[in-house]
A and B are shown apart, each in its own frame.
Chain A
Amino acid sequence: MIALLTRDLRLAIRAGGGFGLGLAFFLILAVLVPLGVGPEPAVLAAIAPGVLWVGALLACLLSLDRIFALDWEDGSLDLLATAPIPLEGVVSIKALAHWITTGLPLVLAAPLLGVLLNLPGEAFGWLVLSLLLGTPALSVIGTFGAALTVGLKRGGLLLSLLVLPLYIPTLVFGAEVVTRGAAGLPVQTALLLLAGITAGSVAILPFASAAVIRINLR
């Protein structure tokens, strides 16, 4: 299991694109939005929580199809499925590797982009906390989507279509935490719901992902 994680991380570093791509996309989005809506600080402050969460979500989406596609092409997935580690473990590790290479950098970069978008000072802590709690769910749900589309031609576009609706609850509660935090309102309910979705996804979805991979391999 650890070997799989270190291999995936090593591949992400050597092949490039793993760490950088999602992050660069996130940055570009945070630059494009003010260019689109205008520099009005009040407007930016109002939309910043939503924009940052949507940006993080799309940046996550960008690298999802790489989770299984490469292993599928070179035959590793067949070999992993016949290996002594359970496939549920494989998909969980893959999701973890995706989170480390994509989700975690987004969490760390989000405060900087919050400055660009004039996010109110009180909200920075909530932004980081909500992303930290929410991005693991994005990775796990995305892994499920990647597992569904693993053998398909033109799976990339379909993947977005399947995964984005599944991201809705995470997005709503995550952005809600930041919005309420920015307005000085209590955030506890939204935060707990966000954590609940993440915990539930991490606990249950790997079983669905593994089942789907088995179906796709046969």
Chain B
Amino acid sequence: MSSFWEYANPRRFMRTTDWLLPVVAAAALVVTATGLIWGFFFTPDDFRQGSTVKIIFLHVPSALMAINAWIMMLVASLIWVVRRHHVSALAAKAAAPVGMVMTMIALFTGAVWGQPMWGTWWAWDPRLTSFLILFLFYLGYIALWSAIEDPDTGADLTAVLCLVGTVFALLSRYAAFFWSQGLHQGASLSLAPGTRVDWAYKAPLYVSMTGFALIFVALVLAGTRTEIRARRMQALVARERMT
């Protein structure tokens, strides 16, 4: 247990996640269920938005994780590029589909929320647009991974794409804001006191956000374990061919 980097050893990672994954998965289930049930059934209706507002407990956490998943992929890619830890590259690979689904959930719940509020399912609002663009970036990243056969080449190429993509995704976001002034309200949550969202909403919302973060961690751990097993199979086949 001397260094964090020991978990970069696949065997070590598997041994640790053997017990860690069920714990995280169970925690994710409990916390998310608590957050959502609290949010949906034990908060007052908003006086203007009615019960529609409660979709916030799905929308905000998924949007948050959609962005955080990309940031995690970026960090994992950098670790792979700098330190060549295989688990890191595989974790980035495993995070992409999770991030993409989170983006889809955010877009879908946003549409469902937007319909009664703005009277339209979709508007080319900068926030919506930048999420749609983020979705395209996830799509490209996943497609590149799946197109390359050699795992190390795939890890290298996708890492470069992730780096370059991050820059262009930020530029696109800025471009989207430049291009259209939107309907979307500003960030609904802020840490400054006396803000728009009441504590009655904030508390369950924070619980939901924690729950989604735990779901993300659990899914990435599970995905990484799958990738490690697939890699192990490849290594065994290669060894078979050598003897």
Contact = CB atoms under 8 A, between A and B. Distances in A.
| Chains A, B in direct contact (C-beta < 8 Å) | yes
A144 interface: yes
Main secondary structure on A side of the interface with B = helix
A33 to B, nearest CB: 19
A161 B178 contact: no
Interface in B173-203: 174-176, 178-179
Interface in B114-168: 133, 136-137, 139-140, 143-144, 147-148, 153, 156-157, 160-161, 163-165, 168
24 contacts: A144-B164, A148-B160, A149-B144, A152-B148, A158-B144, A162-B140, A165-B133, A165-B168, A166-B164, A166-B165, A166-B168, A168-B168, A168-B171, A168-B172, A172-B176, A176-B178, A190-B178, A193-B175, A205-B164, A208-B160, A208-B163, A215-B157, A216-B153, A218-B153
Interface string A15-45: 0000000000000000000000000000000
Interface string A152-167: 1011001001101110
Contacts of B168: 165-166, 168-169
Contact of B143 (A158, A172, A216): A158
B140 to A, nearest CB: 5
B175 A173 contact: yes
Given A148-B157, A215-B153, A215-B156, A168 B178 contact: no
User: Chain A CB within 10 Å — which of B153, B174, B175 has the most?
Assistant: B175
Contacts, number: 71
A165 B178 contact: no
Contacts of A176: 178-179
B141 to A, nearest CB: 9
Contacts of A215: 153, 156-157, 160
Interface string A188-203: 0110010001000000
Contacts of A212: 157, 160
A100 interface: no
Contacts of B163: 208
A211 interface: yes
A216 B137 contact: no
Given A172-B179, A216-B157, A161 B165 contact: no
User: Chain B CB within 10 Å — which of A148, A161, A165, A193 has the most?
Assistant: A165
A189 B176 CA distance: 14
A168 to B, nearest CB: 4
A215 B81 CA distance: 12
